[in-house]
Amino acid sequence: MTQRFQEFYHWLDVQAHRIPAIPRNLGVTALFLCAAYWASSILIGHTGGENNSALVFVLAVVFISLLTSGYFYGIAASIIGTLWINIYFMEPYAAFSLSRPGYPVALLSMVAISCVVCALTARVKKQATEAVRREKKAKALYEQNEKLNAEKAAIQLQSERISIRESILRAVSHDLRTPLTAISGAVSVLLSSPEVSEKNLAMLADIKQDADGLIVMVENLLSVTRVQDGTMPLKKREEMLEEVAGDALLTTRRRFPDYHIELDLSEDILYLPMDPLLVKQVIVNLLENAIRHSGDREHIVLRLYRQEDWAVVEVRDRGRGLSPEVCQSIEAGRPMPLSGDATRGMGIGLSVCQSIIKAHGGFFTAENHREGGAVFRFGLPTEEEKL
C-alpha cells in the first residue's frame, strides 16, 4: 500500500511539474485556500462561533509552502486566509470588522505565525534540495573515482606487461648474441680456408650473411628496449654529424661492398650535441633498410643538410617504396609492428630509429618519393634545450 502511494505521488509530481511554474503555484495556492474555506465552513456548522478555522488555514499555508517555490505564495496565502477568517468565520459575518476585543491581536498573530511557518518550510525545502544536490555530486565523484581507479589499474597492468615483454626480449637477445657471434666467426674462418669447395663457399657466405643480419637484429632489439625503458642513458657530446655519418657509411660498405651508396654533404659544418654511437646506429639501420628492402642497388643516397635549427639526415632510394601501413605508423609516431614477414627486421630497425631520435628531442619521418622509392628523414636539434 505504501509503495503504491509513493508511486502515485511520484506520478502526480511528474505530471504537475509539466505545468509552467507560475500557473502551477497559483493553482496549488487556490486549491488549498478553497479546501481550507470548505473545511472551515463545515466546522462552523457544528461548532458555531468557537471554530478552528485559523488552524485549518495555517495548515493550508503549510501545504502551500511545501508545494510551491519561494516565499511569496505562502505569505500571500496567509494574508488571504486571515482576511477570509475575519470576513466569513468571525462575527459579524460577511463583513470585515475589528470591533471585537482581541481580534486585531489574533489576526496579526495568525499572519505572523503563518509567515514563520512559511519561512521555515521554505528553508526545509531548500535544505532538502541542497542535500539531494550534494548526494548527486558525491555519487558522481564516487563514479569518477571508480573510473579513474579502473583506468589506473589498466595502465599498471599494461605497464607490467610491457616490462615483462622487454625483460624477455633482453634475456633472449643476450642469449642469442653469443652463439650468433660464434657462428659468424666460425664461418669467417671456414671462408678463408683454401680446402673449401666453391659450392660450400656459397653456402657459407649465405650462412654468414644471415648470421650477421640476425646479430644486427639482436642489437636493435637490445637498443630499443633499453632506450624505451630508460636503461640506456644518452651520452651526449659535441660532435660533427659528417664524421658520424662517414663512420656509419664505412660500416655499411664493409657489410655490403657490392652496393653503391652516394654521400651528399652540406656546405655548412653540422656540429651539434648527440650520442654519436646511437646516431650512427640510426644511420646504419636506415642504410641497411634501404639495401635489404628497397631492391635498389645503385641509387641509395645519404644526404646531410641544415634546416633552420635542425641538422637533418636523409636516406633515399629508388626502390619499391613503403606500404601505407608503414607510412601511417611512422606519421602517427607509433612503434613499428614487430612482425616476422618478408620484411624481417625492418620494423625492429625503424622502432630503434624512432626511439633513439625521440630520446634526442628530434623528429623522424618517412614517405614515398614522387619519382619512386622511399625517403627516410630525421632531424636533431643543433642546440641543447635549456631547462
pTM over 0.85? The answer is: no
The count of domains in the chain is: 2
CA–CA separation, 280 vs 288, rounded Å? Answer: 12
Same domain for 238 and 372?
yes
Q: Is residue 221 assigned to a domain?
A: no
Same domain for 244 and 366?
yes
Q: DSSP 3-state assignment of 262?
A: strand
Query: For the ranges 4-18, 62-76, 133-147, 269-283, which has the lowest average pLDDT?
Result: 4-18
Q: Is residue 352 assigned to a domain?
A: yes
Same domain for 141 and 241?
no
CA torsion sign for 70, 72, 75, 77 is negative
CATH assignment of the domain containing 327 = 3.30.565.10
The answer, yes or no, to whether residue 305 has pLDDT greater than 70, is yes
- Look at residues 127, 146, 165 and tell me which one is the last residue of a structural domain: 146
Query: For the ranges 161-175, 303-317, 372-386, which has the lowest average pLDDT?
Result: 161-175
5-45 per-position pLDDT tens digit: 667 656 666 666 677 778 888 888 888 888 888 888 887 76
Same domain for 241 and 371?
yes
The answer, yes or no, to whether residue 71 has pLDDT greater than 90, is no
pLDDT at residue 283, rounded to an integer = 92
Same domain for 11 and 135?
yes
Nearest partner of 245 among 273, 281, 213, judged by Cα = 281
pLDDT at residue 377, rounded to an integer = 92
Q: Is residue 306 assigned to a domain?
A: yes
Q: Is residue 59 assigned to a domain?
A: yes
The answer, yes or no, to whether residue 387 has pLDDT greater than 60, is no
More reliable by pLDDT, 40 or 147 = 147
Same domain for 249 and 118?
no
Q: Which three cell numbers stand for residue 358?
A: 625521440
Query: For the ranges 32-36, 210-214, 288-292, 322-326, which has the lowest average pLDDT?
Result: 210-214
Q: Is residue 155 assigned to a domain?
A: no
Q: Is residue 195 assigned to a domain?
A: no
Q: Is residue 176 assigned to a domain?
A: no
Same domain for 275 and 136?
no
Same domain for 113 and 248?
no
Query: For the ranges 81-95, 111-125, 257-271, 341-355, which has the lowest average pLDDT?
Result: 341-355
Q: Which three cell numbers stand for residue 65?
A: 509552502
What DSSP line would sit under 85-101, residue for residue?
HHHHSSSSTTS----ST
Same domain for 29 and 129?
yes
- Look at residues 101, 116, 146 and tell me which one is the last residue of a structural domain: 146
Count of C-beta atoms within a 10 Å radius of residue 39: 16
Return the HEC string of 219-259: HHHHHHHHHHHCCCCCCCEEEEHHHHHHHHHHHHHHHCCCC
- Look at residues 129, 146, 163 and tell me which one is the last residue of a structural domain: 146
Query: For the ranges 42-56, 136-150, 251-265, which has the lowest average pLDDT?
Result: 42-56
Q: Is residue 156 assigned to a domain?
A: no
Same domain for 377 and 238?
yes
pLDDT at residue 384, rounded to an integer = 66
Same domain for 242 and 348?
yes
More reliable by pLDDT, 219 or 32 = 32
What domain range is 257 assigned to?
234-381
**Arithmetic mean of pLDDT over the chain:** 77
pLDDT category of residue 341 using cuts at 50, 70 and 90: very low
229-267 per-position pLDDT tens digit: 555 567 788 999 999 999 999 988 888 888 889 999 888
